[in-house]
């Protein structure tokens, strides 16, 4: 009997340890799901979380993603800056991934995209920005250098993520190692099809290789925020949140993180079995917890 009680107490103590790493973590599920009416609402919600972070830590390192999905976030954050509701003068921006082999200055290099869509609208200088070198002669060395640079910068405070229709995050395609670090990856056919819209619909112009933060690198960030919109992402979202942890669905690695938030619109939430539960828990969440 005494051993049984001691074992139960040990399990309780272990559970408490999971949630006492930060006062803001008390009672959080492994992945919090927030269902919003539309992409604009999702953008505003995440932008406010970024602004709140910057109020607490003015020199926060924000990890940004590219593509069309996160644009409402950047637009909402820029609007806050313009209105004087957020001071980002000391903020630093870091890149999630970069194409390999695009010529310097190519408008669809992710460096160019981040500068155009994030850094410049926030009124920041290029000196506040860091990313991997996709044109380096030694790509492996460039990958290692970027991993070191992120660590030396103090780590990413908030990493914004999108999700592919196959469940990839960054360019960690299905069956990527869940412990992977920044490295070169070969893009799948589906990912190149998805990204052809940024190259005038010509898939032949889409590079075959990228440098990407690995899943292990992504998990080093203090807060992960994944934004997904549209019915085309619904299956990937359901597998990420409700499915098993699996390398087949790289985004499912968010289940390992102590502070992971998935923000989805109604269409992207359409295949969630626990959608009503997620709505209720967010509606009843204490305001002081934030996102």
Query: Reduced to 3 DSSP states, what percent helix, strand and coil does the chain have, rounded to the nearest 5?
Result: 45, 15, 40
Residue 210: what are its φ and ψ, rounded to 5°? -145, 160
Q: Which residue has the tokens 């009124």?
A: 123
- How many Cα atoms are found within 13 Å in the side-chain-facing hemisphere of 289? 16
Residue 50: what are its φ and ψ, rounded to 5°? -65, -45
Catalytic (active-site) positions: 97, 166, 168, 173
How far is Cα 245 from Cα 255, in angstroms, rounded to an integer? 7
How far is Cα 64 from Cα 158, in angstroms, rounded to an integer? 9
How far is Cα 118 from Cα 81, in angstroms, rounded to an integer? 12
C-alpha pair distances (Å), 1 with each of 11, 15, 65, 276:
16, 21, 53, 40
Q: Which residue has the tokens 């914004």?
A: 160
C-alpha pair distances (Å), 15 with each of 20, 28, 178, 245:
9, 12, 23, 19
Contact assessment for residue 188 and residue 237, using Cβ atoms and an 8 Å cutoff:
no
282 exposed, middle or buried (CB, 10 Å; 0-12, 13-18, 19+)?
Answer: middle
Q: How many of the other CB atoms lie within 10 Å of CB of 245?
A: 13
Find, among 210, 181, 187, the residue nearest to 109 by Cα: 210
């Amino acid at each position: 009997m005494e051993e049984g009680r001691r074992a139960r107490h040990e399990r309780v103590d272990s559970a408490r340890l999971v949630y006492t790493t930060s006062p803001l973590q008390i009672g959080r599920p492994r992945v919090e799901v927030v269902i919003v009416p539309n992409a604009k609402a999702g953008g505003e919600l995440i932008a406010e979380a970024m602004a709140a972070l910057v109020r607490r830590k003015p020199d926060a390192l924000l990890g940004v993603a590219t593509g069309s999905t996160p644009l409402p976030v950047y637009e909402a954050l820029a609007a806050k800056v313009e209105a004087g509701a957020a001071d980002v003068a000391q903020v630093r921006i870091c890149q999630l991934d970069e194409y390999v082999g695009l010529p310097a200055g190519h408008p669809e290099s992710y460096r160019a995209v981040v500068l155009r869509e994030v850094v410049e609208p926030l009124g920041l200088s290029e000196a506040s920005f860091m990313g991997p070198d996709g044109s380096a002669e030694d790509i492996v060395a460039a990958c290692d250098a970027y991993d070191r640079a992120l660590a030396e910068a103090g780590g990413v405070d908030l990493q914004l993520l999108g999700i592919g229709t196959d469940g990839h995050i960054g360019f960690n395609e299905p069956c990527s190692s869940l412990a992977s670090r920044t490295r070169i990856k070969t893009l799948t056919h589906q990912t190149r099809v998805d990204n052809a819209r940024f190259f005038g619909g010509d898939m032949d112009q889409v590079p075959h290789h990228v440098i990407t933060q690995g899943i292990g690198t992504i998990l080093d960030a203090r807060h992960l925020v994944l934004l997904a919109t549209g019915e085309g992402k619904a299956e990937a979202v359901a597998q990420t949140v409700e499915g098993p942890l699996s390398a087949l669905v790289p985004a499912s690695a968010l289940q390992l993180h102590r502070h992971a938030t998935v923000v989805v619109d109604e269409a992207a939430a359409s295949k969630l079995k626990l959608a009503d539960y997620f709505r209720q828990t967010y509606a009843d969440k204490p305001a002081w917890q934030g996102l």
